[in-house]
Chain A
Amino acid sequence: MATATNMKLADETSNSDAMLDSLLQEQFRWQLALDAIRVFVVLQGSPKTTDKAVIVVKAAAGPVREAWLSVLTDALHSFAIHTLPCAITPERLLGGLDLPATLASGKRVVQSGLLASADGAVIKVPMADLLPEAVSAQLTGVLDEGGVRLERDGESAFLPTRFGLVLLDESEGDADGGEGLDPALIERAALHVDLDRISVRALDLVLEDEATVLSANPVANPIADPVADACGLCAAFGLMSMRAPLQLLSVARALAALDEREELAQSDMERAVQLSLLGRATTMPASAAEPQEETEPEEVDQQPEPDNSQDNEPPEPEPTNPDQDRPDDESEDEVQEQEAETELPPDEMLVEALVASLPPGLLEQLRQQLTAVQQSKSSGRKGRSRGNALRGRPLGARRGALSAGKRLDMLATLRAAAPWQTFRQKQVSHTNATKNLHLRPSDFHLRRFKQKTGSTTVFVVDASGSTALNRLAEAKGAVELLLAESYARRDHVGLVAFRGKSAQVLLDPTRSLVRAKRSLATLPGGGGTPLASGLAEARSMALEESRKGRRPTIVLITDGSANVALDGGGGRAKAMEEALSVASTIRVEGYQCVLIDVGRQPSNRTQRLADAMGARYVAMPFASAHNVSAAVSNSLSAPRRKAG
């Protein structure tokens, strides 16, 4: 009895410790988020061209984000704030011809776009993760060049503009496999804030003594060579882009400026790393003593993190001091001693100091977060490509009303107006007949385009034991050949594999051959054959694709010996029955399908499945990868089967 009570007590204490820890971490993050705002304002006001106020805020909509945004708005009171909606048209973004005004005046009237008119202001992008590729590419281009290069509608100009950018990333991030914020935008951002793991309670506590955050910095400890440090630090966190050190330096300098110091101090650099690098690190400095060379991002996932994080953890912070996020004097001294004794390169020193300055557990969480992000990245987070109604083959002009997003066919419009000119001239001659041209809305002709619908090939690969033994390598080879072909056709490619108990989406539809090959290469074989799950997964991918306006084709590669049901349970009969029922759903929905039988011999079972799916059946008893690929290419170009 007594021991039980003791244990319970011990549990409670450790629980409350854990709670305190997590509260500390939340406060730490909130302080970081507030510091980021201060730095943002400094960068926004800075005349230096390298100081680019770009911040990525990872946060779901909610009270924490609201609080943060209201602090930001207050801090930016002297700057205008524009909002950039995801659905912005190129005309509004970059500028172009103002058609109504041009027609009314008979002179070319150009309207400037959002980016050019936001010179000196701040642009806020809600749902930045949903920003179409075309828009984000233009944003990064304008940020880099310091101006809009306008080549539209007969206008050619360079409009200088410099604006701050607040990117609100609302993607769930880790496991949803959806579209994340464009990596090109992430790379341009000097500041990275994560509000997702802060709860409202942390924010209440800190807001009271907000002012103490920056002044809590220990006395300046000047750095000899900030440039070398910045480069070393970025490399240590796996950020190989040359923009990262520049951003780190400008954040550190902004911090020093906030503290009214000229010289950069080590504490500035530490804080800058927390604000600028931690949020997007692709690798964690495993140990400061280790050489920092192996920071190639690809190597990271193979490399198991040596579990010596404990060595780097600081002593437990005193719970009575919630503001503590710096190493205490003692560890600072230690750091200095080390510097004198061993003459470590400064970046390693800084990494060590930095690790020591983080609250306990944070680093571990960051690490976990990091692996999660990497996993989802390798499974292809980005299948981004959105249709544009104004693209494609021209279809000629048709009369219609002018509205946003439509393109006027000038010549057709003029042609339509021409026969009426004499008549209209007379009509208005008693008022002001100075106009040369009389256009009526009924003259407007709009350009029409036929958009080529893209297509997506969804590969469903049976990686179960039965296939693995015989033909998995062959199946992989076939898929790779098909991938190369899809690539030549500019198709999207998705990859579903099933083995063991369930199916798994290996790759969301993408056009990147490299990524597709990578995910295929790492596909292991073995286990049961959950055919129904595989088909269900493929079906939902196909459905998603057709919603996006692309035409899906399902290519199923299996030996057809289903033996795992949808619920993960065994039973050949049930498994096959379910597979057939999913297959018939696919048939009803009318996707083009191909089934490649990789069984030892062509079997009735697989043939039946193909019939149920409405799939073209290709038996490949002893086929080479090339044969399989040729078979599929043929059936892809063959006329589509009618469903039902």
Chain B
Amino acid sequence: MGTRQSAKKKMDTAKAAYPFAAIVGQDSLREALMLCVVDPSLGGVLALGDRGTGKTTAVRGLASLLPPVQVVKGCRYRCDPLDTSPCELCNAKDNLEAETAPVSVVDLPLGATEDRVLGALDIERALVSGEKVYEPGLLADANRGFLYIDEVNLLEDHLVDVLLDVAASGWNVVEREGLSLKHPAKFVLVGSGNPEEGELRPQLLDRFGLSVDVRTPDTAKQRVEIIRRREAYEADRVAFFKKWQRETTKLRNRLLNAQARLPDVIADDAALTLIAEICIALGTDGLRGELTLIKAARARAALDVSERVDDSHIRAMAPLALAHRLRRNPLDDARSTVRVERVLDDIFAKREAA
């Protein structure tokens, strides 16, 4: 009895993640995550960096920040009532009732089995009543939300294959155990990891829209502040949340505002030309880099309450959108972010001279 109660209490506190607004430093990572909230089609964030730099804290804190969304009432995939291609069930229905629901942030733990990721035959129903019933998995839960993979570089290869497929198409096609169905699975992929523990597969790397190099905070003042806040949070989570409630609300409103503005943000020909110039100079493969950079710059402009994309937005977003897409040049030892910065400096210097 006592143990169960304490277990429940523990669970509640464990659920209350450290508030996003209270994170010290890590500006790039915070910004990247916020941009993905503004424009979920950006393709997600990959946070790579040393251990103990607060990667996981930032991602988990995101959940409390996310503005709620409209979903079809009773839909297990949380379809958007306005979506033109919803799941098969919603498609069959005539009029869809809407309700407000929080955005899901789903964890994909390393030890997950394929059946829980993709969804599988409900074993109990299969055994007891011989029914063939599909039990949705994590990809279904993550539809229209965030899918977070900590230590993404350690993820088993077969799960990576599955993810790549679904992340590309936005649909989870299940053909297993005699089941045959598909459901929408559009999610923002967020991964974090330490590159020292193993490198990420290039295909998966390319799938992420933005990448962030998370460095350990190096000023003593920042480090001390991080520990102080962490201690305050551990000491009394409820009070800590209250203290940061205002900031959280402010940030959430900013995100909502940016979401509303995004469709009207203009990226003119000059901006597109600059982006193309940067991508050509860096020699990024394919067009995914360009597309992502345009989207990121627009989202950034929306966050800045600006009506059109200007050079500063592009400049700020280029390292996030392009650094992980450079062809690896083994003869150049510089970090890829440094290489992007070098090219950016060049291009902007030339433009100013002209």
Q: Measuring CB to CB, which residues of chain A are less than 8 angstroms from any residue of chain B?
A: 48-50, 90, 93-94, 96-97, 102-103, 106-108, 119, 133-134, 137-138, 141, 144-147, 149-156, 158, 160, 162, 183-184, 187, 227-228, 230-232, 235, 240-246, 249, 385, 388, 391-392, 410-411, 414, 436-437, 452, 477, 480-481, 483-484, 487-488, 490, 511-515, 517, 521, 625
> B116 near A512 (CB under 8 angstroms)?
no
Give the bracket for the number of chain B residues in contact with chain A. Answer: 35 or more
With a CB–CB cut-off of 8 A, which chain A residues contact B230?
Answer: 50, 242, 246
A183-B197, A437-B127, A452-B157 given. 11 additional CB < 8 A pairs?
A102-B127, A137-B110, A141-B150, A151-B113, A246-B231, A414-B127, A481-B330, A487-B328, A514-B196, A521-B333, A625-B331
With a CB–CB cut-off of 8 A, which chain A residues contact B51?
Answer: 183-184, 187, 241, 243
> B115 near A153 (CB under 8 angstroms)?
yes
A155-B116, A231-B224, A480-B331 given; A514·B195 CB < 8 A: yes
Report the minimum CB–CB distance from B4 to chain A (whole Å): 11
Distance, CA A364 to CA B226, complexed state (A): 33
A153-B115, A162-B10 given; A241·B234 CB < 8 A: no
Q: Give the residues from 294 to 328 in chain B that come closer than 8 angstroms, CB to CB, to chain A.
A: 328
> Can you name 29 A-B residue pairings with CB atoms under 8 Å?
A102-B124, A107-B128, A108-B123, A133-B198, A134-B110, A137-B110, A141-B109, A141-B150, A147-B10, A149-B109, A158-B14, A183-B51, A184-B51, A227-B224, A240-B216, A241-B53, A242-B52, A242-B230, A244-B52, A246-B230, A410-B123, A411-B126, A411-B177, A437-B127, A481-B330, A511-B198, A512-B195, A512-B198, A625-B331
> A227 near B231 (CB under 8 angstroms)?
yes
> A119 near B328 (CB under 8 angstroms)?
no
User: Is B120 an interface position by the 8 A CB rule?
Assistant: yes
User: Is B279 an interface position by the 8 A CB rule?
Assistant: no
Judged by DSSP, the binding face of A is: helix
Report the minimum CB–CB distance from A228 to chain B (whole Å): 5
With a CB–CB cut-off of 8 A, which chain A residues contact B13?
Answer: 49
Of A141, A483, A521, the residue contacting B151 (CB under 8 A) is: A141
> A513 near B124 (CB under 8 angstroms)?
no
> B330 near A517 (CB under 8 angstroms)?
yes
User: Is B121 an interface position by the 8 A CB rule?
Assistant: yes
> B108 near A151 (CB under 8 angstroms)?
yes
> B223 near A106 (CB under 8 angstroms)?
no
> A480 near B330 (CB under 8 angstroms)?
yes
Of A227, A414, A517, the residue contacting B227 (CB under 8 A) is: A227
> B111 near A93 (CB under 8 angstroms)?
yes
> B124 near A107 (CB under 8 angstroms)?
yes
Which chain B residue has the least Cβ–Cβ distance from A484? Answer: B330
Report the minimum CB–CB distance from B63 to chain A (whole Å): 13
> B154 near A230 (CB under 8 angstroms)?
no
> A414 near B126 (CB under 8 angstroms)?
yes
User: Is B164 an interface position by the 8 A CB rule?
Assistant: no
Distance, CA A271 to CA B4, complexed state (A): 37
Which of A102, A108, A162 neighbours the largest number of chain B CB atoms within 10 Å of its CB? Answer: A108
Distance, CA A391 to CA B113, complexed state (A): 10
Distance, CA A437 to CA B131, complexed state (A): 12
Report the minimum CB–CB distance from A325 to chain B (whole Å): 28
User: Is B54 an interface position by the 8 A CB rule?
Assistant: yes
Distance, CA A425 to CA B115, complexed state (A): 31
Of B52, B108, B129, B330, the residue contacting A483 (CB under 8 A) is: B330
With a CB–CB cut-off of 8 A, which chain A residues contact B217?
Answer: 242
Distance, CA A397 to CA B325, complexed state (A): 40
A106-B127, A512-B199 given; A477·B116 CB < 8 A: no
With a CB–CB cut-off of 8 A, which chain A residues contact B163?
Answer: none
Report the minimum CB–CB distance from A433 to chain B (whole Å): 15
Report the minimum CB–CB distance from A160 to chain B (whole Å): 4
With a CB–CB cut-off of 8 A, which chain A residues contact B178?
Answer: 411
Q: Which 6 A-B pairs have the closest CB atoms?
A: A241-B52, A480-B330, A151-B112, A151-B116, A240-B216, A243-B52
Report the minimum CB–CB distance from B70 to chain A (whole Å): 25
Distance, CA A282 to CA B76, complexed state (A): 50
User: Is B228 an interface position by the 8 A CB rule?
Assistant: yes
User: Is B341 an interface position by the 8 A CB rule?
Assistant: no
With a CB–CB cut-off of 8 A, which chain A residues contact B127?
Answer: 102-103, 106-107, 414, 436-437
Of B130, B156, B227, the residue contacting A242 (CB under 8 A) is: B227
Q: Give the residues from 129 to 165 in chain B that come closer than 8 angstroms, CB to CB, to chain A.
A: 129-130, 135, 137-138, 150-151, 154, 156-158
> A228 near B111 (CB under 8 angstroms)?
no
Which chain B residue has the least Cβ–Cβ distance from A625? Answer: B331
A155-B116, A484-B330 given; A144·B56 CB < 8 A: yes
Report the minimum CB–CB distance from B50 to chain A (whole Å): 7
With a CB–CB cut-off of 8 A, which chain B residues contact A411?
Answer: 121, 126, 177-178
> B223 near A235 (CB under 8 angstroms)?
yes
With a CB–CB cut-off of 8 A, which chain B residues contact A490?
Answer: 157, 201
User: Is B92 an interface position by the 8 A CB rule?
Assistant: no
Which chain A residue has the least Cβ–Cβ distance from B330? Answer: A480
Distance, CA A150 to CA B137, complexed state (A): 12
With a CB–CB cut-off of 8 A, which chain A residues contact B333?
Answer: 517, 521
User: Is B88 an interface position by the 8 A CB rule?
Assistant: no
A158-B11, A244-B52 given; A134·B111 CB < 8 A: yes
Report the minimum CB–CB distance from B143 to chain A (whole Å): 15
Which chain B residue has the least Cβ–Cβ distance from A135? Answer: B111
Distance, CA A148 to CA B223, complexed state (A): 29
> B196 near A242 (CB under 8 angstroms)?
no
Which chain A residue has the least Cβ–Cβ distance from B60? Answer: A145
Distance, CA A188 to CA B249, complexed state (A): 33
Report the minimum CB–CB distance from A188 to chain B (whole Å): 9
